[in-house]
Amino acid sequence: MARCFVTRRLPGTALERLAAEHDVDVWPRRLPPPPEELRERTRSVEGLLCLLTDRIDSALIESAPRLRAISNYAVGTDNVDLHAAASHGISIGVTPDVLTETTADLAFALILAAARRLAEAEAEARGGDWLTWEPARLLGRDVHGATLGIVGLGRIGRAVARRATGFDMEVIHSGRSRGVGLEELLERSDFVSIHCPLNRATRGLIDERALGLMKPTAMLVNTARGAIVDGDALALALRERWIAGAALDVIDPEPPPPDHPLLEAPGLTLVPHIGSATHAAREAMAELAVDNLLSALAGRPMPAPARSLE
């Protein structure tokens, strides 16, 4: 029986399976454990089930000599120092596939919300500004027949593309080795939806120059990672009307401080990282995260190992 630390309660019953085989300590609070507490709780464990809000850096890994397996309750691993983990022979698992369709649903919902200015319309309806029906009030953009540019045609990007066909959209995409170039995609697209992983090559990918290439009628959607978009540049682009709007499920940092420039930017729809937030998806993530940890602690390959050190 191994000792395991889980950094938050998870939906469903997956943690009961973990507790049936190992000694499990679950962080009981709503907010993540502070760095000092995370390090202390991890110091003597063999298995760690963490969230993307937990920074698993080299210092933490060095302080946990018994640690053999890290199961990240997320698709990505940008919160984990993969090189440090690999150098200590620690297995790393993630939770892909089970949240693909759910996140694609949210991405397309954000496309529609940005296009039809739903956040502004809802605020006006609740705020007493709904005085009459006006022909030129809250005019948005058509989604049907528009061009959708997908940055990163992985699992979620492909799922968004499938949804776009139902709206008769022209879909173009940009990736490391296929599709059109990023500049062409930005120039042609009416909606740009980001689905690439966060790594050294993509951090700050959508910067001031990139935003300047987009149409003044275009809209940016990000359900990947906040740091792929330069927040200061996006706030400037929205204030100066370089683009018509943006809809974000992710932002850098999370949560944003009260003075984050994007919080006052016009034309922005912002939701708090809910891409996978359905009962079914989050419970499936928990099941896979536990499967990863159980397999590694039993000396078996994880069913969903992290793929890259990028």
Catalytic residues: 225, 254, 273
3-class secondary structure for the chain?
CCEEEECCCCCCCHHHHHHHHCEEEECCCCCCCCHHHHHHHHCCCCEEEEECCCCECHHHHHCCCCCCEEEEECCCCCCECHHHHHHCCCEEECCCCCCHHHHHHHHHHHHHHHHCCHHHHHHHHHHCCCCCCCCCCCCCCCCCCCEEEEECCCHHHHHHHHHHHCCCCEEEEECCCCECCHHHHHHHCCEEEECCCCCCCCCCCECHHHHHHCCCCCEEEECCCHHHECHHHHHHHHHCCCCCEEEECCCCCCCCCCCCHHHHCCCEEECCCCCCCCHHHHHHHHHHHHHHHHHHHCCCCCCCECCCCC
